[in-house]
Chains A and B, each alone.
Chain A
Amino acid sequence: MISSPNQELLLTGMLLMAACYGAGALSSLLARGSGRLALVVAHLAALGGAVAGLGVALGVLLGDPHHALTQTLPDLFPFARLSLVVDALSAFFLLVISLVAIAAAIYGPAYLRAHSPDAGPARQGAQALGLNLFLGCMAFLVCAGDALTFLLCWEGMTLASYVLVVSDDHNGENARAGLLYMVMTHGGTALLFVAFLTLTERAGAFDFAALRAAAVDLDSTTRTTLFFLALGGFAAKAGVVPLHVWLPRAHPAAPSHVSALMSGVMLKVAIYGILRFAFDLLAPVAAPLPLSWGWTVLVVGTASAVLGVLYALQQHDLKRLLAYHSVENVGIILIGVGLALILWRRESAGGALATVALTAALLHTVNHAAFKGLLFLAAGSVLCRTHVRNMEELGGLARRMPWTAGLFLLGAIAISGLPPLNGFVSEWLTFQALLGAANRFHGPAGLGIVFSAAMLALTGGLAAACFVKAFGVTFLGRARSAHAEHATEAPPSMIAAMVWLAVLCVALGVAPGYALRLLDAPTAALLHGPAASAVLSARGPLVLSTALTTSGTHGTAISMTLIAALLIALAALAWVLRRGLWRGATRSAPTWACGMRPTARFDYTATAFAKPLRLVFAALYRPRRAVIRETAGTPYVLARIHYAGEVVDLAETQIYHRVQRGITILARTIRLRSTGRIHGYIGFVLGALFVALLVFGVGTR
């Protein structure tokens, strides 16, 4: 293997990253002396690791695309050689992980100190260990060069995040959330094991190169079965509907900077897995992928997007609302991935459209990491200053926490897919890919794609409604509880972390052409086709243009930079108008409330805000409400009315509760059969053995 000086440098970077995360994990030992010191050292180490990871990722993405960074690891197991291979796709996801990890590492110490000042050293040590292990496992998972490293890191990531989920508060709900998370994610891991072991058994080795070679002569049924096994495993981790039920419980339970990492980054690792399996490990040599793959991903993506945002709308817990939005955004990413799977090698003209679809998915991956990270951190600032997650008890925080409010608003605009921020850019690209694909497929397929586009538009509109609610009820109006009334601004280090992510949101929105250069290597490597910036910024980095995807027309071109400049210029002009032509004085007066003296109870609540949409989509929500009227003697005089209303996730009631009931019934039946006498059990064992021999023993003779 040729190793240039550049490669040497990058390998040193990898080593540095490993050393930093390792040192951070070890720093949990300091907790015996001082828990606070352990936390600070652990977060500093994590910051170092993240910066090193960022350097490595940028080095690979901007360096020679044909040379993957390879490093064999020491032989831990006699049966497998472990290695790290950082190719373009790995580097891109390492970039996403590192970008958010930097923010989380800056944010963490101050947050943990402010949120749980009375935490014991054991908890602080566990958090120090968990965070570094979590980050390290994610970083090395995307860099894994063989199945064993992949699975080990996958399991480490799950366990470390479980520790973090249950570490925050000692209450039963967190423990239940953690348990559900473990069950769901291990179900997914089991599917992954089957998929990987089938491949490794054929290949006789664990490294990806051997798996790739072994997958070449798979028949199409096996190939598709393996893909769906892997998709199921990754979808459980990514929180795709209907496998998402753990997500809105587990993500909010973790400390806020870990929530940001779980939502912003850990879900993306599952996206990485899907891309790695579909385009790399299982892809046929020259044929297009089976249509069932792409359509399945497109359909579950669309369903996730719409249902995720619909359930988000009815949440009053700020962090749970954000967690449901992760379901939505993973859906949007999967729409792009699904389209790329459908279009790949099915286009006549050079494959530019598949590139647009994949670019949209990858760009939304990094965009979502930026704005969801920002929103979770801002929600964390609110949480650590008020200790309240229920929006109905907040309100009026914009005047007490102006920085947090402004940054949350920025994130809200970005996640709603509104220009000129980054959410719009990736949704625009997704729309363009959908439109191009609809042009290519006639008949029901085309109509399905266009319907998916309409659903994406609905998702955008509903997300905007949801964030008007989330921002308005939390930050505007009057304080609705003493907690909100006595809130103060978050410490500077937390604000700095949010500003870092906010800068990313603005930069990716205003000048997406430069970000596309980083996507060149992954798109070209995965699709063996044209690179992202060759297709989309053919007219210079400041213009996004789709001219190459459709033959015979000019395509569509937009310039986010120009629009942003125009907006700034117009805002300056409007500011002059707003000040008034004759600069009259500004008076302050109470809000008009029909002559009454307004109190905090006059403010619109989150429940009230979302009520019209709850009625419009009642068929999907099936809202439960209970009204109890207490009367004073006669039925005509009401003393008090109790109202309770909730919207329960349909997947929970329709699927999981039934499964749970089935398991309970089964367990009860078995319990009735268990007599407690040893002869009976021996009989059972013998019977089972007999049946097993009958079923499996016949074929081998």
Chain B
Amino acid sequence: MTIESPLWLKLLEMVLLVLFAPLVTGTIQKLKARLQCRQGAGVLQPYHDLAKLFRKSTVQADTASGLFRLIPVLVLAATVAAGALVPVLRAGPSALPLGDALLLLGLLALARFLTAVGALDAGGAFGGMGASREMTIAPLVEPVLMMVVFSTALSAGSTDLGELAAHRGTSWIFAWHAADFLGFAAMLVLLPAETGRIPVDNPDTHLELTMLHEGMLLEHSGPGLGCMLLASHTRQIVTLGLVAALFFPIAVDGLGVVDLLLGAGAFAEKILLLAIFLALVESSYAKLRLFRVPQYLGIGFVCALTALALRIL
């Protein structure tokens, strides 16, 4: 029987996630640079970018409606709220129930919905193109992600992430079933799509042939762009945290300072591992043509479906 996490801990985890989210992006960029034999910017570069953006003034498209100013605020709020649902320091359900994996995916979907709406607001072709592509990929990713969550949730009888992490307990990869391996494989296929990275999207360019997410940010500027960037950093760490909660064990159970520090260290290690994976994938593959992406996601779908079948049959 696990002890429930108090609300202050969930909020602390959320704040930690937001604070360290840009660091993950910085680390991935640095790793990519080193893999490509470049020096690269420092790992703290995203923080400098954000600090600069928040000090700047705003240029707004003259066709945009009043909604446009609200979009970054709502997107950031929804993404950070999703951060409160990821178990970071310890497993076990929240004492005051907040939300489960479905709500987490729902909040991320809300952020994506609003981002796409904002992209159409300025009335440029780039924004529309980005929104259209993003909303084409998203409905294909979401069911597969849901199936991966279900494949673990079926054995735990709950979709609460804390509960799922507690159910995984201390069992490490040696105790995995075939369904776990397949689910994990599906998750790894989805990870670049969900974090907006190669081979599905390219975070480094605004070129219209490649962009999905970046195309939607073109008309944002100054603090608004800062909010959108912070939201996409947070979205990335939340997604990685979701993978960690579903597939890596969280052994720490207590509520003492030492336990929590241990949990934080373990979490950082897991995120680093997944960040290395993303950097490797980004450096070794080319971006797929947009209409190849459904086939790529099909691999994930087959893996997830097989995982579910193995779990149920």
Q: Does A171 contact B (CB under 8 A)?
A: no
The answer, among B58, B67, B102, B120, for a CB contact under 8 Å with A604, is B120
Main secondary structure of the interface of A (DSSP, over half): helix
Residues of chain B from 118 to 163 with CB closer than 8 A to chain A in the complex: 119-129, 131-133, 135-136, 138-147, 150, 153-154, 156-160, 163
Alpha-carbon distance A555/B164, docked complex (angstroms): 10
Residue B308 interfacial (CB < 8 Å): yes
Whether a CB of chain B sits under 8 angstroms from the CB of A348 is no
Alpha-carbon distance between A458 and B109 when the two chains are bound, in angstroms: 12
Least Cβ–Cβ distance between A574 and chain B, in angstroms:
4
Q: Is the CB of B156 within 8 A of A604?
A: no
For B73, what are the chain A residues with a Cβ–Cβ distance below 8 Å? 571, 574-575, 577-578
Query: In the bound complex, do residue B131 and residue A454 qualify as a contact, i.e. CB atoms below 8 Å apart?
Result: no
Q: Identify which of residues 533-558 in chain A touch chain B, using a CB-to-CB cut-off of 8 Å.
A: 539, 543, 545-546, 550, 552-558
* Interface stretch (choices A279-287, A463-471, A650-658): A463-471
A419 to B112: give the CA distance in the assembly, Å. Answer: 12
Q: Which of B81, B112, B227, B291 is most buried by chain A, counting CB atoms within 10 A of its CB?
A: B81
Contacts of A183 in B (CB 8 A): none
Residues 615-639 of A, flagged 1 when their CB comes within 8 A of B and 0 if not, give 1100000000000000000000000
B58 touches A586 (CB 8 A): yes
CB distance from B162 to the nearest CB of A (A): 9
A451 → B minimal CB distance (Å): 8
| A580 contacts B55, C-beta separation under 8 Å | yes
Instruction: Identify B139's interface contact among A458, A469, A478, CB under 8 A.
Output: A458
Task: Collect the chain A residues with CB atoms within 8 Å of residue B282's CB.
Answer: none
Minimum distance in angstroms from B1 CB to a CB of chain A: 10
Q: Give the most central of B76, B219, B226: most A CB within 10 Å.
A: B76
Asked if A399 is at the interface of the complex by the 8 Å CB criterion, the answer is yes
Contacts of B99 in A (CB 8 A): 419, 558-559, 563
List of A residues within 8 angstroms of B243 by Cβ: none
CA of A602 to CA of B100 in the docked complex: distance in angstroms? 41
Contact A563 B81 (CB under 8 A): yes
Q: Which residues of A contact B150 (CB under 8 A)?
A: 435, 438, 450, 453-454
Query: 8 Å CB contacts to B: which residues of A561-587?
Result: 562-563, 566-567, 570-571, 573-575, 577-582, 584-587
**How distant is the Cα of A579 from the Cα of B73 in the complex, in angstroms?**
10
CB-nearest residue of chain B relative to A559? B97
How far is it, in angstroms, between the C-alpha of A461 and the C-alpha of B66 when the chains are bound? 26
Bound Cα distance A588, B58 (Å): 8
Interface of chain A residues 379 through 417 with chain B (CB within 8 A): 395-396, 398-399, 402, 405-406, 409, 413, 416-417
Interface range for A: 35 or more
Of the residues B103, B157, B218, contact of A558 by C-beta under 8 Å: B103
Q: How far is the CA of A405 from the CA of B66 in the complex (A)?
A: 11
Which of B160, B224, B226, B305 counts the most A-chain CB atoms under 10 A from its CB? B160
Q: Which of A422-474 contact B (CB under 8 A)?
A: 424, 428, 431-432, 435-436, 438-439, 442-443, 446-447, 450-451, 453-455, 457-458, 460-462, 464-465, 467-469, 471-473
A592 to B163 CA separation, bound complex (whole angstroms) = 48
| Interface presence of A649 (CB below 8 A) | no
A570 partner residues in chain B, CB cutoff 8 A: 76-77, 80-81
CB neighbours of A589 from chain B (8 A): 59-62
- Residue pair A567, B76 in contact (C-beta under 8 Å): no
**Residues of chain A with a CB closer than 8 A to B218's CB:** 592
Chain B, interface size category, equals 35 or more
B-binding segment of A202-210, A247-255, A295-303, A605-613: A605-613
A52 to B192, CA, bound (A): 56
- CB <8 Å contact, A468 and B59: no
Say if the beta carbon of B34 comes within 8 Å of chain A: no
Q: Specify which of A428, A563, A579, A615 lies most central, judged by the most chain B CB atoms within 10 Å of its CB.
A: A563
Chain B residues with CB under 8 A of A587: 57-60
Within 8 A of B (CB), among A343-381: none
Known contacts A435-B153, A464-B135, A477-B123; A574 and B76 CB within 8 A of each other: yes
Given A468-B113, A580-B55, A588 and B97 touching (CB < 8 A)? no
CB distance from A128 to the nearest CB of B (A): 37
Q: Is B106 an interface residue (CB 8 A)?
A: yes
A591 at the interface (CB under 8 A from B): yes
CB nearest to A421 among chain B residues: B110
- Please report the C-alpha to C-alpha distance between residue A439 and residue B308 in the assembled complex, in whole angstroms: 11
Once bound together, how far apart are the Cα atoms of A455 and B305, in whole Å? Answer: 12
Q: How far is the CA of A447 from the CA of B119 in the complex (A)?
A: 38
A405 pairs with B65, CB closer than 8 A: yes
Specify which chain B residues have a CB less than 8 angstroms from the CB of A438 in the assembled complex. Answer: 150, 154, 312
| Chain B residues closer than 8 Å to A472, beta-carbon distance | 116-117, 119-121, 128, 131
A567-B77 contact, Cβ under 8 Å, with A418-B110, A419-B103, A468-B120: yes
Considering the chains assembled together, what is the distance between the CA atoms of A398 and B68 in angstroms? Answer: 11
Check B128 against A464 for contact (C-beta < 8 Å): no
Q: Are B124 and A602 in contact (CB under 8 A)?
A: yes
A478 near B123: Cβ-Cβ < 8 Å: yes
Nearest Cβ on chain A to B234's Cβ, whole angstroms: 11
Evaluate whether A399 and B76 lie within 8 angstroms (CB atoms) in the complex, with A578-B224, A589-B60 already known: no
> Is there a chain B Cβ closer than 8 Å to A593's Cβ?
yes
Chain A residues with CB under 8 Å of chain B are 395-396, 398-399, 402, 405-406, 409, 413, 416-419, 424, 428, 431-432, 435-436, 438-439, 442-443, 446-447, 450-451, 453-455, 457-458, 460-462, 464-465, 467-469, 471-473, 475-478, 539, 543, 545-546, 550, 552-559, 562-563, 566-567, 570-571, 573-575, 577-582, 584-593, 598, 600, 602-604, 608-613, 615-616
18 contacts between A and B (CB under 8 A): A442-B313, A446-B313, A447-B312, A464-B135, A465-B136, A476-B120, A554-B160, A557-B97, A557-B100, A563-B103, A574-B77, A577-B227, A578-B72, A581-B223, A584-B222, A588-B61, A591-B62, A612-B132
Apart from A398-B67, A447-B308, A476-B121, list 14 A-B contacts with CB within 8 A: A458-B143, A461-B138, A464-B112, A464-B138, A539-B97, A555-B160, A556-B158, A562-B97, A578-B76, A581-B55, A589-B61, A591-B123, A598-B63, A604-B128
Q: Which residues of B pack against A, CB within 8 Å?
A: 54-63, 65-67, 69, 72-74, 76-78, 80-81, 84, 93, 96-100, 102-103, 106-107, 109-110, 112-113, 116-117, 119-129, 131-133, 135-136, 138-147, 150, 153-154, 156-160, 163, 218-219, 222-224, 226-227, 230, 290-291, 294, 305, 308-309, 312-313
What 10 pairs between A and B have smallest CB-CB spacing? A604-B128, A584-B57, A461-B139, A472-B120, A477-B123, A557-B97, A465-B135, A398-B65, A553-B157, A570-B77
